[in-house]
Structure 1
């Protein structure tokens, strides 16, 4: 089968229309919105009459061209339903009542417009201009839509352009037309340019003339369409052009160089033609999780076609078995086992990138995968049904599944496995002291990562002091700021004493540290205490230490008034870290 024939078959499966007329046909949304109080047998007629009335209102009363009024009327079903609900429904009088509503309660025309161009109605409120209801108050958005629609852009796909490059809709009609006509000079027709611009909206927003960057992009597209003989397959089909261009964009987004992507794609024609865009994106996102450069992921994907047929979600992996398969020797495996006990056992292939980050082996593994063109990953399987199964984990899992809070507990367990903890007894021990929903736990974990703590070290910190994930990001931020700015320490201190983040900041850390500084400044204490010694010591032992410094110190500390010191970033101290 030739490439054009194969591509034609693929397109026939993915798109229901191949004519130019079909691409500009109004895409009708569900004609049956939620309309309480209106019997289902009346809904089709009610919606039809409301759409007609709205179209007439926009055309006759608001002076919009009929074609565009109809686009808005037919494609703003949620906004329309909100209007319908304002009327006490009566079948015989509905049409008249609805028209009266439009006459005496003017609508926010921008709300209907934004929904009609394909923007989700829930996002519309954030896009509405302030203190403006009518296009007559600001017609730039509508005029841009007229120009784009007149060129061939499907009305209800204009939202893609608006959400990604809002500045397009502030440009004048002549400027947009000139830019679009300029793209045709590369040898593409109107509908081809439409599909290209939908995939690359920045083409319409970039200032100035046609740059070398744009030349390179169109050069890639032309090479792909010519060498893959796609012209006859996608002619007259905006969706098909958009699909192909979106695949090219995946590799641009991965950092592959414009002007060279076309050549790389043409070396893997079958891969590019047969693999849907969503699969390309899914595979790209998966390998980007290894923390490597995106352009490395892009070139790897184009060189490793078998990866696209590999299930990267559901297969089970044995951590040690996989590391051995990828080349770690016995001594290296023993070192991993001793240092990263919490990662050992089984996990899901979907979690492999984070498992490797928890072992600090993510870049090593990706380089192994890439150098083998994916073969090492493709050929890996668990050696047997009993490989790397932790019986204590299995028994604990059974108890969880039969408990009353199984759903909540399992979601927390999934979180732990997702960040790299394996199916082992130590993970269950950590789980027992983990508080919060999986969403809250992920938010706290992501916050701590964002502070600059290394992934593998953060997992080790959680293993040592799991309660650090029981606090909100705001509280964690306050404690980290105090540790680094006021106590003069650093994030690295948490590698050895992560429990610092578990202690009460006001009543424990600040209070003890403040008194310690006061004693030092007044020459009453000559010893240097570590942060852990100051914070983690029990209250009884801490007071005993103060008594050894001075008999009156415990009483003064407990009263806590005369020694308070304001903290600031310039404070110096000589604490042992």
Structure 2
């Protein structure tokens, strides 16, 4: 049976493929695998490359909306004080709201300062400006909630300027504040679930309580709501409650879930439920499922399980049996799932680039997936140069002992392969061939011909040197 053409356990593969096609590939720009078409982590970026400036509440100010560093700290503080006085005393906003808006809307404050930048007394001048030039209070309000101008520009009400004119918005905003959700995290909720701020009195509070009724602590609810605002829309999300139930039945407590949720991330609980169902279909017991998820939270939370499910699909396409995949996950190494998948992908391309036979590639990927997932290989050209050999011999070395790949990872010193004797045999064959054509041994013409023979075999040489006359005249 050709493992690269026929797949085992089609029922499980069908489920994995469904997840892969519907939930993952549509949003990705991917390359097509030469063999066993599947997608695995393509150019992931998990960390910022530039440290962002932060406002007083810790929110990031990206490079498109950073404040003017030329404005002095004293001038900025005076402007914040004037804005606080205006919002609280003139506009009658609650002091906590006014203070948060004035301290955590640096971009808006900078815009205000441009109106009085030539004045000596910034605070007094700005107070006078605000007296005669009412501001759109929704701008500093949304910014203080953690939104950038590019985020909230489309969210600004068309016919309102003053926050107190939108009682429903402020009431639901205060429900979140009083529940313990940080003010600079509420912006994400507003952006992703705006309708929540249109709920009538008491509705939002009852929804938050319904999460606690599932057995979640208040601190867990805060993390869930901050990361997945859409769960507040409609009734309790069915998939969310089913994931909780499956994890609880596997021995995983809700406190564990809280520890591994990050408010800055978004989670798709439908994807997580599908992954847990796949593990069940692969024959994992509740105890095994609880053990592997507890030890490797990334299996569930990285990409909401999509990375793990597509990794399963990739292995199935190369002929791995369900039991082999189950065994891999039950003994999954201490490495991030995306990194494991990334390494596996690069190893696959390494084998393709050295022109290994597809049957051998399939066998190695199937039998040594745990090894390949741990190997961050050097580039092929670098390995060949350090080994001082060609692709053909590297293929043979890997086929004889795939464990050799771990000696060629990034950061390692790759030693040349020992002489196999092939070079000497090749040299003797070339010399014999040239002598048969009439070359004089050790002559300058023979040495020149041997140099031109380098990196060629005898059959290649016959093609290169078409006739005896061509050789003798070279």
Q: For this structure pair, what is the TM-score category when the shorter chain's length is used for normalisation?
A: 0.5 to 0.7
**Pair 1:65–1:380, CA change in 2 (3 A):** closer
Aligned partner (choices 307, 314, 320) of residue 352 of structure 2 = 320
**How has the CA–CA distance of structure 1 residues 148 and 261 changed in structure 2, closer, same or farther, with 3 Å as cutoff?**
farther
1:107 aligns with 2:135: yes
The answer to whether 1:64 aligns with 2:93 is yes
Describe how 1:123-134 pairs up with structure 2 within 5 A: 123-134=151-162
Aligned-pair CA distance for 1:162: 1.7
Q: SS at 2:342's partner residue? A: coil
The aligned counterpart of 2:245 is 219
Q: CA deviation at 1:195?
A: 0.7
Partner of 1:554: none
Counterpart-to-counterpart distance in 2, 1:321 and 1:37: 53
Match of 2:404 in 1: none
CA contact under 8 A between 1:107 and 1:133: conserved in structure 2? yes
1:196–1:241 contact (8 Å) kept in structure 2: no
Whether the 8 Å contact between 1:300 and 1:373 is mirrored in structure 2 is: no
Distance 1:56 1:220, change over 3 A: farther
Q: 1:289 to 1:123 in 2, by over 3 A?
A: farther
Deviation at 1:53, TM superposition (A): 2.0
Greater relative CO, 1 or 2 (CA 8 Å, sep 6+): 2
1:298-337 deviation digits (Å, cap 9, x = unpaired): 9999567346354837968445356737x526xxx9xxxx
Give, in angstroms, the shift of residue 34 of structure 1.
3.8
Q: Does 1:192 align with 2:220?
A: yes
CA distance in 1, matches of 2:300, 2:83: 39
Would you say 1:174 and 2:202 are equivalent positions?
yes
Whether contact under 8 Å (1:55, 1:70) holds in the other structure is yes
| 1:173-201 Cα shifts (integer Å, max 9, x gaps) | 41000111121122223222111111221
CA contact 1:53–1:99 (8 Å) conserved in 2: yes
- Counting matched residue pairs gives 311
**What is the alpha-carbon distance in structure 2 between the residues aligned to residue 221 and residue 56 of structure 1?**
50
Match of 2:125 among 73, 97, 109: 97
Structure 1 residues 312 and 53 mapped into 2: Cα distance closer, same or farther (>3 Å)?
Answer: same
Q: How far apart, in 2, do the equivalents of 1:138 and 1:176 lie?
A: 16
SS at match of 1:98: helix
- Partner of residue 169, structure 2: 141
SS in 1 for 2:181: coil
Gaps of 5+ in 2: 1-55, 281-285, 392-474
SS in 2 for 1:179: helix
Query: 1:134–1:388: structure 2 CA closer, same or farther, 3 Å change rule?
Result: farther
Map 1:289-368; keep pairs closer than 5 Å.
Answer: 305-306=332-333, 308=336, 310=340, 312=342, 317-318=349-350, 320=352, 324=356, 327-328=358-359
Scaled by the length of structure 1, the TM-score of the pair is 0.44
Provide the residue aligned with 1:256 in structure 2: 274
Closer, same or farther: CA 45–267 of 1 in aligned 2, 3 Å: same
C-alpha distance in structure 2 between counterparts of 1:51 and 1:312, whole Å:
48
Instruction: Find 1:164's aligned residue among 176, 192, 213.
Output: 192
Are 2:262 and 1:243 aligned? yes
* Rounded Cα–Cα distance in structure 2 between residues aligned with 1:59 and 1:139: 16
Q: How does 1:345-424 map to 2 (within 5 A)?
A: 374-378=370-374, 382=380, 384-385=384-385
User: Is the CA contact 1:118–1:158 (under 8 Å) kept in the aligned structure 2?
Assistant: yes
Task: Kindly indicate whether the alpha-carbon contact (under 8 Å) linking 2:104 and 2:143 is maintained by their aligned counterparts in 1.
Answer: yes
| Structure 1 equivalent of residue 107 of structure 2 | 78
Of 268, 282, 300, the residue aligned with 2:292 is 268
Report the secondary structure of 2:152's partner residue: helix
Give the superposed CA RMSD: 4.7
SS in 2 for 1:140: helix
Distance 2:269 2:390 in 1: 38
Indicate conservation of the 8 Å contact 1:35/1:85, yes or no.
Answer: no
Structure 1 residue 292 displacement after superposition:
10
Q: Say if 2:81 and 2:123, in contact at 8 Å, map to a contact too.
A: no
Cα offsets for 1:223-269 (capped at 9, x unmatched): 68x636846x96xxxxx56429959x367446626788896763324
Q: 1:288 to 1:220 in 2, by over 3 A?
A: closer
Separation (CA, whole Å) in 2 of partners of 1:49 and 1:222: 53
Q: Is the 2:138–2:156 Cα contact (8 Å) retained in structure 1?
A: yes
Q: CA distance change for structure 1 residues 252 and 192 in 2, over 3 Å: closer, same or farther?
A: same
1:109–1:135 CA contact under 8 A, matched in 2: yes
Give the conservation status (yes or no) of the 8 Å contact 2:104–2:144: yes
Q: Equivalent residue of 1:328, what SS?
A: helix
Aligned residue number for residue 502 of structure 1: none
When residues 33 and 104 of structure 1 are mapped into structure 2, their CA distance, relative to the original with a 3 A threshold, is farther
Q: CA deviation at 1:108?
A: 0.7
